[in-house]
C-alpha cells in the first residue's frame, strides 16, 4: 500500500469459467483500492437453510476423504 498509495486492497482468485476465469490455472489478482474506487462485482451470498451448513460440511468432508 505504501508503494501504490492505496488505502486498502482486494485479493481475488477466480476458479472455473463460470467464475470468469479466463486462464485455466491458479492465479491471483491484487487490486489496490483508492478512496473512490469500487470493485464492480456483486454477490448475493444468500443464506443456508436450517442445518444446511452442517450438511454442506458433511458433504465436503466425504469428498475430501475420497
DSSP per position, 17-59 = GGGT--SSS---EEEEE-TT-----------PPTTHHHHHHHH
Options 27, 54, 55, 59, the catalytic residue = 27
* 20 included as an active-site residue: no
**Residues recognised as catalytic:** 27
Amino acid at each position: 500500500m505504501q508503494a501504490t498509495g492505496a488505502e486498502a486492497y482486494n485479493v481475488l482468485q477466480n476458479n472455473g469459467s463460470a467464475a470468469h476465469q479466463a486462464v485455466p490455472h491458479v492465479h491471483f489478482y491484487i487490486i489496490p483500492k483508492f478512496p473512490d474506487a469500487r470493485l464492480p462485482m456483486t454477490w448475493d451470498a444468500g443464506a443456508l437453510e436450517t442445518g444446511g451448513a452442517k450438511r454442506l460440511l458433511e458433504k465436503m468432508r466425504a469428498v475430501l476423504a475420497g
